[in-house]
Chains A and B, each alone.
Chain A
Amino acid sequence: MLNGITSAGIHEWEVPVGYVPDMRVSGRLFLSEALGRTLEEGAARQLANVATLPGIIGHSFGMPDIHWGYGFPIGGVAAFSESEGIISPGGVGFDINCGVRLIATPLTLADLEDRRSIISKLYKKVPTGVGSKGSLRFSGSKLDELLSGGSTFVINEGLGLPEDALLCEENGCMTEANPDLVSEKARKRGIPQCGTLGSGNHFLELQVVSGIQDSKTAEVFGITEGTICCMIHCGSRGLGHQVCTDHIRSMEKASKRYGIRLPDRQLACSPLTSPEGQEYFGAMAAAANYAWANRQIITHELRLLFESAFGIDYNEMPLVYDVAHNIAKWEMHTVSGEMQRVCVHRKGATRAFAPGRTELPEKYRESGQPVIIPGSMGTASYLLAGTETAMQKTFGSTCHGAGRVSSRKAARNALSGNEVAADLKTKGIIVMAPSGDAIAEEAPSMYKPSDEVVRVVDEAGLSRIIATFLPLGVIKG
């Protein structure tokens, strides 16, 4: 573990006040000894920088998949008080509501004997990579409706099942969205990209349920051992990226106006009560709705393809759940023994609400929230459930994935895309992407082991493992 960071319990570490100047609270990391050895100084410093922001409550948190990003670390969580706190685009990231969803199917491995063929069809059907365009165009008032309505809007356009929206965090729509605050530039970037996957770590992956750790909860989540599922990871595309760019500029001016000292310009922020803060919130919420609509459209394409390829019905492919990774939201949490409304920033982290929370869909209220943790092309993915410990310790938050451990440059220097694809093929995993570099940069060895990250959140009590999934084929951008 890095110098100056001390043990604070099982898999818990304290980044003390004073680690960087002006910290208001300490930092709290959730790492095993092994993951602690991968912690970069840059990520610890970013975690500590977040602790300097006004109105932060409790701690600045780092999940086991923490790594060096910009502004907040990836895997960072912080809650801010309604009256004294701030909102920061650097606590959400450029890819607003980048998130992941899990879709169940009745198919089994026997149906996927020709795995390459179905992955190839998916690769043709779902636009991926730089410059890709979706087949649907929502512009003008239709785009306004999409930005206001999120999942519900596209479902009403015939692109999903009515229950899909209810199976997303926030019911697939942040009601605070204000499309008027989304610039023309953001709209121009977003209009052609609706229904596209993007590039980088975004993916669509077919998986098989390889193990059930909690059969009762798995049944509630609709997960059966041996069946095929699909995981989709993407976000708000150029529209969200531009919203962040637009607002970080105004937030930096606001930071100076409100006398907020910033250790990193990307942490530019504004009081939650300020006009600048509220404007960012309204625009961010609209971008978040775009992201839910985007994942819904890709889900629709997947279902149509599987209907024709396998002769199963659209209704036989239910959405298990959809979680947001990059978002700021108003939530009710217990602070100093009282329920308070706080603004929780999660950047590369997942909400993990406990049983009983009224925000959860009726059918998950006894089990706790489904938490979807993707692996890294060649490693297992997991389905977990939210816990009361997460409510008490991390404002109901857990990890979001394996978390990178090596740079993209190091990946390209060490590996070729062909080698990585060939290695995955020997394990029965088909990967398709527009370039070898796209595959090499996302090679499994460039990520922390997903089983170790998930073991830590399970043992720290931040979520419970319900089921394990192994990859069969993946499309990347």
Chain B
Amino acid sequence: MSFEELDHTADVRIRISAESYEELFTLAADALFGILYSGECRPILEKKIQILAENQEDLLWEFLSELLYRSEAEFFVVCSTRVEFNEGGLMATVCGEPFDPDRHGGGREIKGVSYSDLFIRKTDTMIYSEIIFDI
């Protein structure tokens, strides 16, 4: 039910603890946008994004890579993300607003989502994941 930043010399490594896959993916998106942007975000626009992948780890990588692309290419700041899993992937509903440098600037660019040391691990009670973002 949280994410934390772990030590990584060059980049930003995030550890997520969640009670469900939906929550895990939502927290991963929160971590991504928490690095990218600062300040308050108003949920005035909604977008739906379909992601397909062969397994959960690939799905997480595709999901974060697509969010990063959308945010950067469309200058779109995301405040909240909702995830529903469906056949072969997920449907994400993201709410946010156009990027405003005065209100959202000052974050750190993410170049990409690394495959290195990416994992999702399920225990009886929790699901854990670690992700490295290239800064």
Expressed in whole angstroms, the Cα–Cα distance for A31 and B101 within the complex equals 42
* Complex CA distance for A242 and B37, rounded to whole angstroms: 19
B residues within 8 A CB of A185?
69, 73
A-B contact pairs, 27 of them (CB 8 A): A43-B9, A67-B10, A68-B8, A68-B10, A70-B11, A70-B115, A71-B115, A90-B115, A93-B134, A130-B106, A131-B99, A131-B101, A185-B69, A198-B109, A241-B134, A264-B116, A265-B116, A266-B114, A266-B116, A405-B9, A407-B7, A408-B11, A408-B108, A409-B6, A409-B7, A410-B7, A434-B105
Q: Which of the segments A16-24, A207-215, A244-252 contacts the partner chain?
A: A244-252
Report chain A residues within 8 Å CB of B38: 435
A435 neighbours in B (Cβ, 8 Å): 38, 105-107
The reply to whether the CB of A306 lies closer than 8 angstroms to some CB of chain B is no
Residues of chain A within 8 A of B99, CB atoms compared: 131
> Taking the nearest CB of chain B, how far is it from the CB of A139, in angstroms?
13
By a CB distance below 8 angstroms, the chain B residues around A134 are: none
Is A199 interfacial (CB-CB < 8 Å)?
yes
Among A192, A265, A441, point to the contact of B115 (Cβ < 8 A).
Answer: A265
Whether A130 touches B112, Cβ cut-off 8 Å, given contacts A185-B73, A435-B106, is no
| Interface size range of chain A in the complex | 35 or more
Q: List B residues at the A interface (Cβ < 8 Å).
A: 5-12, 36-38, 65, 69, 72-73, 75, 99, 101, 104-109, 111-118, 132, 134-135
On whether the beta carbons of B106 and A408 are closer than 8 Å, the reply is no
Q: Give A189 to B75 CA distance when docked, in angstroms.
A: 10
CB distance from B115 to the nearest CB of A (A): 4
A130 lies within 8 A of B109 (CB): yes
Return chain A residues, CB-CB under 8 Å to B104.
130-131
Give the CA-CA distance A93 to B10 in the complex, in Å: 12
Q: Which residues of A contact B11 (CB under 8 A)?
A: 69-70, 408
A132 to chain B, nearest CB (A): 7
The complex places the Cα of A172 from the Cα of B112 at a distance, in Å, of 25
B116 and A40 within 8 A (CB): no
